[in-house]
Amino acid sequence: MKRTLTKLIAMLLILTVSIPLLSGCQGKKDAAGDIVILFTNDVHCAVDTDIGYAGLAAYKEAMKEKTPYVTLVDCGDAIQGQTIGAISQGEYPVDIMNEVGYDYAILGNHEFDYGMDRLEELLYLTETQYLGCNLRYTGSGNNALDAVEPYALAEYGDTTVAFVGVSTPESIAKSTPAYFMDESGNFVYDFCGSSGEELCAQVQAAVDQCRADGADYVIALTHLGTDESSAPFRSVDVIAGTTGIDAVLDGHSHSVIPCDVVENKAGEDVLLSSTGTGLNNIGQLVITAGGNLSTGLIGTFPHIDSGVDAYIKDIQSQFEADLAEVVGHTDVALTTVDSGGVRLIRSRETNLGDFCADAYRAVSGADIAFVNGGGVRADIAAGDITYGDVINVHPYGNNLCVAEATGQEILDALEMGSRDTQAQISDGDNAVGENGGFLQVSGLRYTIDTSVESSVEVDDMGMFVSCGGARRVRDVEILQADGSYAPIDPGATYTVASHNYMIKEGGDGFTMFMDNALQIDEGMVDYQILMTYLADELGGAVGGAYSAPQGRITVR
């Protein structure tokens, strides 16, 4: 019989503390006892902001005083995004998650950012069981993901709950494609993402096996998101294409979803929830002794776990002295956003984008330079610039590469990067038309005509295939030695500076440079490029030349 679900707005009473459950929904089912499943997603190394891991640990302990059945899970993108992750290649966040006591987690696309060898090491170091039913290895050698199980069964008294992991097929294009290849350049890792139907079939097989193994409930831990651009691999697509899942705890799109109700393939209601990002909220799924299934978000908690707090502070003390070292000064704020806080770096030229691209070109001596907007992760405020500020801008640890490329390949790259660009930049407070592969540039200028629909074709991995129709990028000109600009020659050869993610590894789907001759093959690390440019080219001072974008990208 179809379960009936109703929405509620409630206050959750924990011990004697009133905890705001921002909103939620619930449905009637039989359960053996109160079960509390706490969840996080897209923390991105925000270990001590908002609620923080110390607050999460305290809340977990509060729940354990209420019921013995408490489980903590993470839905991906926990170990990358800030300095604490970059400087340790994910190890510090893993250590902190061990201290907090996560039971299950899944791999977001950014868990792969340090490479498969490093991910294998981190999976060895973690005390958390990682899950992923759609991770597939077709190679003949070592499988770095051997430790990842498709699902896990947890016993709560007489009730069995299955946790099924699902990682986004977008991981290939949105992390580093080369990491998923063997030495011959063949993909040996994939995410069952040749189509939405294949992904749903893989998830359905795992759910069916869980039910056959005696699961009373099936909870999907997903890193899929709800963005339209992620279709047909969104969490709502998987719900609509499967049966047997009771609730989906989601990540990837940074959506704040206390509780949505989505119909599955059989017309049954499934709960969907996501916390946002950065420990702004704690997610909570409750299965009560009375049989109610509910989800909601905890926006604040007044306590912290002193042991976890001390543990985090000890880790931070190990590198904060170095990060606080002043490496330069800027007279102007270098930013990724507009005056209203709407993110521009993935759809428009910004002064920080100019600065980063100029650094790559100056340090490498290349004709032009590309920096993907998704790789510029933080602003730099006016005033002193610290080592930590620079790492926060480029936290990935990518390496400088310079490739020889034809003018036509450069035109294809610009077309690929601008395929989602729209005339407007926001819808209310939200950025629109974003693409992490939007190219900030140095050594050239160009115009994007948004009235022309993009004709870029990508394969089922999100990798560039061709651009056979009308082009929206026009008036592309290359900077000359005398400071003038001249039209790009599609048949000429230029040198292009970027990093290994884009040049060698096909990051953001840029395949056009992967087989090209390299003049620099994985040289200086990305944040060191910025510091070298700041020190050697600018004399340690960013001046008025960067007070505004320099007119390299025109959007019409």
Q: Using H for helix, E for strand and C for coil, what is the string for 185-226?
A: CCECEECCCCCHHHHHHHHHHHHHHHHHCCCCEEEEEEECCC
Same domain, 310 and 342: no
Task: Kindly state whether residue 12 falls inside one of the protein's structural domains.
Answer: no
Quote the pLDDT of residue 289: 83
- Mean pLDDT in runs of 10 for the chain (556 residues)? 30 30 54 84 94 98 95 96 84 97 96 91 98 96 96 96 96 80 91 96 98 97 92 97 98 95 97 96 93 93 97 91 90 93 93 98 96 95 95 89 97 96 82 90 97 94 91 97 96 97 94 93 86 94 96 96
**Cβ-contact 208, 215 below 8 angstroms:** no
**Count of C-beta atoms within a 10 Å radius of residue 323:** 17
Residues in the chain, total? 556
Pairing verdict, β 217-223 and 159-167: parallel
**Count of C-beta atoms within a 10 Å radius of residue 382:** 13
Task: Kindly state whether residue 7 falls inside one of the protein's structural domains.
Answer: no
Quote the pLDDT of residue 32: 52
Contacts (Cβ under 8 Å, ≥6 apart) of 283: 38, 39, 40, 41, 249, 273, 274, 275, 295, 296, 297, 298
Tokens of 521: 């093959």
Task: Kindly state whether residue 23 falls inside one of the protein's structural domains.
Answer: no
How many CA atoms, within 13 angstroms, populate the side-chain half-sphere of residue 185?
Answer: 6
Q: Report the C-alpha gap between 224 and 222 in whole angstroms.
A: 6
CATH number assigned to the domain comprising residue 360 = 3.90.780.10
Same domain, 355 and 477: yes
Spatial CA neighbour of 326 closest among 76, 495, 540 = 540
Same domain, 201 and 82: yes
Q: Report the C-alpha gap between 71 and 69 in whole angstroms.
A: 7
Q: Report the C-alpha gap between 85 and 80 in whole angstroms.
A: 5
Same domain, 524 and 418: yes
Same domain, 257 and 307: yes
CATH number assigned to the domain comprising residue 277 = 3.60.21.10
Same domain, 308 and 341: no
Q: Which of 266, 291, 317 is the last residue of a domain?
A: 317
pTM above 0.85, yes or no: no
Quote the pLDDT of residue 193: 94
CA–CA distances in Å: residue 466 to residues 83, 360, 421, 469, 512:
37, 27, 18, 9, 9
In 3-state terms the chain splits into helix, strand, coil percentages (rounded to 5) of 25, 30, 40
Same domain, 263 and 393: no
DSSP, res 179: G
Burial class (CB in 10 A: 0-12, 13-18, 19+), 21: buried
Which residue is it, tokens 């509910």? 294
Same domain, 302 and 352: no
Task: Kindly state whether residue 477 falls inside one of the protein's structural domains.
Answer: yes
Sign of the torsion formed by the C-alpha atoms of 520, 523, 527 and 530? negative
Spatial CA neighbour of 169 closest among 465, 504, 463 = 463
Domain count, the chain: 2
Quote the pLDDT of residue 461: 87
Quote the pLDDT of residue 484: 96
CA–CA distances in Å: residue 147 to residues 124, 131, 453:
8, 9, 44
Spatial CA neighbour of 191 closest among 165, 224, 206, 169 = 169
Same domain, 339 and 203: no
Sheet of 368-372, strand order: 439-442, 368-372, 493-499, 400-406, 518-520
Range of the domain at 397: 326-555
Task: Kindly state whether residue 252 falls inside one of the protein's structural domains.
Answer: yes
Q: Residues 77-116, buried b or exposed e (16+ Cβ, 10 A)?
A: bbbbbbbbbbbbbbbbbbbbbebbbbbbbbbbbbbbbbbb
Q: Map residue 352 onto helix, strand or coil.
A: helix
Contacts (Cβ under 8 Å, ≥6 apart) of 315: 84, 92, 95, 96
Same domain, 192 and 260: yes
Quote the pLDDT of residue 93: 97
Q: Report the C-alpha gap between 429 and 385 in whole angstroms.
A: 29
Same domain, 313 and 353: no
Q: Map residue 533 onto helix, strand or coil.
A: helix
Task: Kindly state whether residue 10 falls inside one of the protein's structural domains.
Answer: no
Task: Kindly state whether residue 454 falls inside one of the protein's structural domains.
Answer: yes
Same domain, 153 and 204: yes
Q: Which of 297, 317, 337 is the last residue of a domain?
A: 317
Q: Report the C-alpha gap between 402 and 414 in whole angstroms.
A: 17
Sheet of 5-14, strand order: 5-14, 17-28, 292-298, 282-287, 35-40, 70-74, 104-106, 129-131
Q: Map residue 103 onto helix, strand or coil.
A: coil
Task: Kindly state whether residue 180 falls inside one of the protein's structural domains.
Answer: yes
CA–CA distances in Å: residue 526 to residues 206, 316, 352, 496:
40, 22, 14, 15
Instruction: Find out whether the peptide bond into 232 is cis, omega within 30 degrees of 0.
Output: yes
Q: Which of 317, 352, 386 is the last residue of a domain?
A: 317
Quote the pLDDT of residue 24: 59
